[in-house]
Amino acid sequence: MAASTPTKGRVTAPAVAAHTSTDSPLVMVTAYDAPTARIADAAGVDMILVGDSVANVVLGYEDTLRVTTEDIAHHVGAVARTEPRALVVGDLPWLSYHVSTSETVHNAAKLVRAGAGAVKLEGGRKRLEAVQAILDAEIPVMGHLGLTPQSVHALGGFRVQGKDLDTARAIVDDAEALAAAGCFAVVLECVPDAVARLVTDTIAVPTIGIGAGRHCDGQVLVMHDLLGLEDRKPPKFVRRYADLANDAIAAVSHFADDVRNGRFPSSDETYHAADTVSESLNLYTGEAAEDTPSERAPAT
Ligand code: KIV
């Protein structure tokens, strides 16, 4: 974690906001449940994002538009109950901050009550009212610009954003507005590295890139992508650090093979009754004991 942020105790949104360009880059990964949250925290990441990507990564939906605040809160709860050192950021899903400021604040509060230390929402100047209302309720907000998957239909697909001067300028202006409003960090998704660099050099709070090149203050990846647990062809910005899907298939196939060939369970993996009880039971069923007493684990 950055030198200007506490190395002991929990990572906080103000500590992330205080990150400077001389600190080591911030690291964020997604996690949606307790085992992946424990993995992320044991690996020492700074932030765990309970992203709306849970929709396609875990719940089998086509896009992120299907999940609700209740869905995200359910997953935030699972992550937060592991009591990670990392800051837990809950993603506000589509339509949870678009209708009214009152609904927006109540939805953000649901994620905080489930255990999030901050929330993230997509969009720039268009969403300033929502950002302001959440901040007024004392909830830290992370922005998200560039490719904003909740706007997939409006954007006409999942495409790199900010490729021409006008759209690049709009992203910089949006980032400045979010930072000025009080966001503690801004995610930049799928934008050219020159755009990410300009945003990073322009705003005072850290940028966290995903498909935005190396000039951001930090990087985020979807946990299942980096672990190789996804079977889709990953986008070019994903680096796979493991091949867990194939490792898992091999392990489950091995188990199936052992069961089908009588190699599982072994005597050591079996509870045994005391010899006298086993003998009586064997007499009762008319079968001879198969195990010799020396093979047996103590009765439990
Ligand atoms: O939901 C998510 O996983 C995200 C990341 C891609 C930043 O928003």
Angle between the N-to-C axes of helices 101-114 and 128-136, in degrees from 0 to 180, rounded to the nearest 10:
50
Boundaries of every domain in the chain: 13-242, 249-289
pLDDT band at 294 (very low <50, low <70, confident <90, very high): very low
Mutate to test the pocket of ligand 1, among 48, 122, 141, 187 (most ligand atoms within 8 A of CB): 187
pTM (two decimals):
0.92
Mutate to test the pocket of ligand 1, among 97, 220, 226, 227 (most ligand atoms within 8 A of CB): 220
Query: What is the structure's pLDDT at 290?
Result: 53
For the domain made up of 13-242, the CATH class stated in words is: alpha beta
pLDDT band at 3 (very low <50, low <70, confident <90, very high): very low
Q: Which residues pair with 56 in a beta bridge?
A: none
Give the pLDDT confidence of 181-234 residue by residue, as tens digits.
Answer: 999 999 999 999 999 999 999 999 999 999 999 999 999 999 999 999 987 788
How large a percentage of the chain has pLDDT more than 90?
Answer: 89
Ligand 1 atom closest to Cα of 122? Answer: 8
How large a percentage of the chain has pLDDT more than 70?
Answer: 92
Give the pLDDT confidence of 243-293 residue by residue, as tens digits.
Answer: 999 999 999 999 999 999 999 999 999 999 999 999 999 887 766 545 544
Give the pLDDT confidence of 13-25 residue by residue, as tens digits.
Answer: 999 999 998 999 9
Q: Are 207 and 175 in contact (CB under 8 A)?
A: yes
Give the pLDDT confidence of 87-131 residue by residue, as tens digits.
Answer: 999 999 999 999 999 999 999 999 999 999 999 999 999 999 999
How far apart are the C-alpha atoms of 130 and 141, rounded to whole Å?
10
What is the average per-residue pLDDT within 46-69? 97
**How far does the centroid of ligand 1 lie from the alpha carbon of residue 56, in Å?**
11
Residues with CB under 6 A from ligand 1: 30, 49, 51-53, 91, 187, 189, 210, 220, 222
